[in-house]
């Protein structure tokens, strides 16, 4: 065991520095503002969820080409707090195309205010979207981009 172990990037918060994914698409960048904070001064989880819902819809929208709704948040993990001034990058990857639904994995990375170009993964989630017709009923989605 080392006498001076390196700090664990998973627990040091601001010091974490991970590589951005290369197999996912950057679908959104946004900077949270003071009005998005909870009582602790961290960014409200519901605000992050709303951004993830928007970001996750980008890839399915190319298939659906019309109305769709979010049917399920299959998984949502807040790995680290988000703070005012962080630059958030949302990456998305299609994980499943069903008959009427599309499931997407979303990962969110923060460049901390004052530590730009270093990334910490702050959130990961999986959401499912359903294509709907004019009556709000599920409709089939193409299995490939056309
Ligand atoms: C901006 C916003 O939209 S905010 C989010 C608010 N969301 C909504 O208002 C949606 C409200 N829900 C609905 O309108 C309906 O439940 C619908 C249209 C999404 C689905 O209608 P249903 O009659 O339940 O359809 P059905 O049972 O056929 O399921 C449709 C698809 O959703 C999938 N699905 C349904 N429930 C779930 C679930 N809990 N988790 C994952 N997928 C699900 C089904 O597997 C199916 O996918 P597939 O065809 O690819 O296999």
Is 145 part of a structural domain of the chain? no
Is 146 part of a structural domain of the chain? no
ipTM of the complex: 0.95
The CATH number of whichever domain residue 83 belongs to comes to 3.10.129.10
Is 144 part of a structural domain of the chain? no
Q: What is the DSSP letter of 37?
A: B
Q: 87-97 and 101-111 as β-strands: parallel, antiparallel, unpaired?
A: antiparallel
Is 88 part of a structural domain of the chain? yes
Is 101 part of a structural domain of the chain? yes
- pLDDT, one tens digit per residue, over 111-130 is 998 888 899 999 999 999 99
Question: What domain count does the chain have?
Answer: 1
Is 17 part of a structural domain of the chain? no
Cβ < 6 Å from ligand 1: which residues?
69-72, 98-101, 128, 130, 132, 136, 138
Q: Which domain holds residue 120?
A: 25-131
pTM of the predicted protein model: 0.90
Q: Which of 46, 126, 138, 140 to mutate to test the pocket of ligand 1 (most atoms within 8 A of CB)?
A: 138
Closest C-alpha to 32, from 133, 140, 145, 113: 113
4: CB partners within 8 A, 6+ apart: none
Is 13 part of a structural domain of the chain? no
Atom 44, ligand 1: residue with shortest CA distance: 101
**For residue 89, what are the β-bridge partners?**
29, 109
């Amino acid at each position: 065991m080392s006498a001076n172990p390196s700090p664990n990037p998973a627990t040091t918060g601001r010091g974490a520095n991970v590589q951005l994914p290369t197999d996912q698409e950057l679908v959104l960048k946004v900077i949270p503002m003071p009005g998005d904070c909870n009582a602790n001064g961290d960014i409200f989880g519901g605000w992050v969820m709303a951004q993830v819902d928007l970001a996750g819809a980008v890839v399915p929208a190319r298939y659906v080409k019309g109305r769709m709704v979010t049917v399920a948040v299959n998984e949502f993990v807040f790995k680290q707090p988000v703070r005012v001034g962080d630059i958030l990058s949302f990456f998305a990857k299609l994980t499943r195309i069903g008959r009427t639904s599309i499931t997407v994995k979303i990962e969110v990375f923060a460049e901390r205010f004052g530590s730009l170009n270093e990334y910490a993964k702050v959130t990961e989630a999986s959401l499912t979207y359903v294509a709907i017709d004019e009556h709000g009923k599920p409709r089939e989605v193409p299995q490939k981009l056309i």
